[in-house]
Amino acid sequence: MKKAIVTGASGGIGGSISQRILELGFYVIGISRNKPEKLLENENFTHIECDLSDEKDTIALCDKLKKENISILINCAGFGKFEPHEELNQRTITQMTFLNLTAPMLLTNALLRDLKKNDGYLINISSIEALRSSKFAGVYSATKAGLKAFSDSLFEECRKSSLSITNINPDMTQSYFYDSLRFDVSDNENEKLYASDIADALEHILKMRKGAVVSEYTIRSLNFGIKKK
């Protein structure tokens, strides 16, 4: 059974993706700070507790995962803080940059040989903010644009292998991502995405002919909407 790693697996997009990959017949190693109790009921799911915003923890995790012979890596963990730049504290900036950008690059570095050998998939969950400029989103947008640039460059680097690399850019998606923010997704279902929409995109990517790659997958809500708290 082929193995997949999903970061941010405890809920939201990462949780939905983990569930979908299990349904597709993969063994899933979920990485998160909190235990995904429902996923742990599946015998083909293993959880590793790790704070991917911490350099020491992340490097230790990379060393551990090198032994797992991974076929799919999905970098999903991330967070955003949307304030005037001068209002952000230094710890928020460094943690957001490490979790959203540095950790995915470190995990990819550790697992890239296996991903190539296994004709695998590297899928980075970026954001619509990687493609546009929004006020109060300078650091978050920079990390997601950096993740997209990393994916694009690595795609060109690996084209002699059978590794498929895709960057997924979701619009506002209903999840716990907004729990600590001053705004949330709209109550109108046409003005938001669901985590299952991102899982649908992932399934499409995995079921495509291996010789064809969707290198960029942007998912938008039909209409625009936002809810202030």
| Tens of pLDDT, residues 60-103 | 999 999 999 999 999 999 999 999 999 999 999 999 999 999 99
Q: What is the pTM of this model?
A: 0.96
Q: What are the angstrom distances between the C-alpha of 141 and each of 7, 60, 93, 121, 219?
A: 20, 27, 12, 24, 17
Q: Is 62 helix (H, G, I), strand (E, B) or coil?
A: helix
Percent of the chain with pLDDT over 90: 98
Report domain extents, the chain. Answer: 3-228
Residue keyed to tokens 């997009």? 13
Percentage above 70 pLDDT, the chain: 100
Res 132: pLDDT: 93
How many Å apart are CA 9 and CA 29, to the nearest integer? 9
* pLDDT band, very low/low/confident/very high, at 57 (cuts 50, 70, 90): very high
Residue for token pair 């949307």: 82
Q: What does the pLDDT read at residue 17?
A: 98
Closest Cα to residue 76, out of 164, 147, 162, 149?
Answer: 147
Say if domain 3-228 classifies as CATH 3.40.50.720: yes
Which of 116-120, 136-140, 179-183 has the least mean pLDDT? 179-183
